[in-house]
Amino acid sequence: MVKEELNPFEIAKQQIERVGKHLKLDPGLLEILKSPQRELSVNFPVRMDDGKIRVFNGYRVQFNGALGPYKGGIRYHPQVNLDEVRALSCWMTWKTSLMGLPYGGSKGGVICDPKKMSKAELERMTRRYTTAISTIIGPEQDIPAPDVYTDGQTMAWIMDTYSMNRGYSVPGVVTGKPLAIGGSKGRDEATSRGVVYTTREAAKKIKLNLKGATVAIMGYGNVGWFAAKIFHDEYGCKIVAVSDSKGGIYSEKGFDPKEVKDHKEKTGSVVGFPGTNKISNEALLELKVDVLVPAALENVITAENASRINAKIVAEGANGPTTPAADEIMHKKGIVDIPDILANGGGVTVSYFEWVQNLQHFFWTLDEVRQKLDQIITTAFNNVWEVREQEKVDMRMAAYIVAVKRVVEAYRLRGIFP
Ligand code: NAD
């Protein structure tokens, strides 16, 4: 068997080539769509709590800005690397386009192990990284947001650092901020709400009743936890399995996601929650459930395990959880796989709302945010579904067709400078 490509940037380029072929795009244009426009690599010193100096490596990649300012999160993780950041910035480009937002795509990351750093070290590292990339970020230029192991506090430090250097407060430089300094209501739950809304639409299409439907979620961070809560509290789903980096838990009867969250806060993991059995992350993915939500890292559904995926709907909360070979296998099995750029597009959509509110200095209610999000993501879902039916392609291809076409149209209208 040919070894499957697992480099996320190679996968991202394959996905563009696939849609390029389908749309019969000009080879020059295809080359533009596969190339990151700007890549900044920074090495910067941070004084650690023991007084020693450590040099950290970080990146910011601005993939494509044809539709507007670049937009994309910042990840802190030991496995961050340039190709991963490139891939994530590429996927942001298609995601913002698919959601119909006036943004391009970007992403950033720092190679570090935040779990082994104190809060003070994280603050100093964040402020120095912000300074290192400050020439290319800004509310009109490139607007970061949280990603894996960064949160509202990280965004608050970035906003403050950027503002200190400008001499006035610039809340619109980042999104995902705490409410007290210009965050939007509903941002914390937004990605998960998008996951749930797109699952709701997919369930309607395949006539699956969500009330009582079984749900398994890999990853119990921001995206996984809120998805569990909304599925359970608002749609009456039965959450039967969740997991984190230490392993997973399973109960046929289901459990209350809030109690599991409290357990994780107390013990550091979902594992050991009373009344559940321990299962591995691998086994969780293969459970016979109605809805499976991968909400941790990339490449978890591959050619190796795709044939054993037993869910009716897979809603990709994480970015890049499925490889192209796995896509094909799941499509053949009749699984509705809601691709990442659609399923988790709720996060960037409410980030956009936050940015708009910051620029207007006028804030919306939680109901307004939820309603507008529902409208945008349901429209995006229906656009994708229509293309899927018309062109007889899988959901990811359909989503890419919609997203890439919009960027191509921007190039047609703007032209190639000079
Ligand atoms: P997070 O840091 O809050 O949570 C990550 C979770 O994944 C944690 O529970 C962690 O324990 C778990 N995890 C880490 N390694 C794992 C492993 N090997 N196996 C199983 N679980 C593991 O991050 P998040 O914000 O919830 O992001 C999760 C995914 O969603 C990422 O792919 C991210 O890019 C994507 N995403 C996030 C947002 C957002 O708004 N936060 C938006 C769009 C996409």
Q: CB-side exposure of 43: number of CA atoms within 13 Å?
A: 3
Residue keyed to tokens 């921007």: 410
Question: Is residue 43's pLDDT more than 70?
Answer: yes
Residues, the chain, total?
Answer: 418
Q: Are 343 and 315 in contact (CB under 8 A)?
A: yes
Fold agreement (37-169, 190-343): yes
Neighbours of 187 (CB within 10 A): 25
**What is the atom index within ligand 1 of the atom nearest the CA of 344?**
43
Cα 207 to Cα 175: distance, rounded to the nearest angstrom: 36
Residue 278 among the catalytic residues? no
User: Which pLDDT tens digit goes with each residue over 3-39?
Assistant: 788 899 999 999 999 999 999 999 999 999 999 999 9
Closest Cα partner for 107 from 41, 62, 77, 57? 62
- Which residue is catalytic, options 95, 107, 238, 312? 107
Domain boundaries, the chain: 37-169, 190-343
Share of residues in the chain with pLDDT > 90 (%): 98
37-169: in CATH 3.40.50.10860: yes
- The predicted structure's pLDDT at residue 2: 58
CA 406 to chain centre: 20
d(CA 275, CA 60): 44
Is residue 219 within 6 Å of ligand 1 at its C-beta? yes
Ligand 1 neighbourhood includes 231 CB (under 6 angstroms) = no
Closest residue CA from atom 36 of ligand 1: 318
Least confidently predicted of 31-35, 57-61, 111-115, 296-300: 296-300
| pLDDT tens-digit series, residues 198-249 | 999 999 999 999 999 999 999 999 999 999 999 999 999 999 999 999 999 9
Question: Given a cut of 90, is residue 103 above it in pLDDT?
Answer: yes
Q: In this structure, is the dihedral angle defined by the CA atoms of residues 226, 232, 236 and 241, taken in order, positive or negative?
A: positive
Q: How many whole angstroms from its chain centre is CA 70?
A: 15
Tell me whether strands 277-279 and 247-250 are parallel, antiparallel or unpaired.
antiparallel
**Six-digit token pair at 72?**
């994309």
Question: What does residue 383 show for φ and ψ, rounded to 5 degrees?
Answer: -60, -45
Architecture label for domain 190-343:
3-Layer(aba) Sandwich (3.40)
Kindly report, residue by residue over 111-151, the tens digit of the pLDDT.
999 999 999 999 999 999 999 999 999 999 999 999 999 99
Query: Which among 238, 190, 191 is positioned nearest to 210, based on CA atoms?
Result: 238
Distance 224 CA to ligand 1 centre (A): 7
Dihedral angle sign, alpha carbons of residues 147, 150, 151, 156: negative
What distances in angstroms separate CA 65 from CA 15, 33, 197, 410, one per listed residue? 19, 11, 28, 10
**DSSP tag of 353:** H
User: Does residue 108 carry a pLDDT above 80?
Assistant: yes
Residue identifier of the C-alpha nearest atom 32 of ligand 1 = 318
Verify whether ligand 1 is closer than 6 Å to residue 244 (CB atom): yes
Residue corresponding to tokens 């559904």: 301
What is the Å distance from ligand 1's center to 6 Cα? 18
Ligand 1 atom nearest to CA at 224: 26
Q: What is the pLDDT of residues 331-390, one digit of tens each?
A: 999 999 999 999 999 999 999 999 999 999 999 999 999 999 999 999 999 999 999 999
Which are the contacts of 385, defined by CB distance < 8 A and separation ≥ 6? 201, 205, 395, 398
Return phi, psi of residue 234, to 5°. -100, -25
List, for residues 315-335, the tens digit of each pLDDT value. Answer: 999 999 999 899 999 999 999
Q: How far is the CA of 20 from the centre of ligand 1 (A)?
A: 30
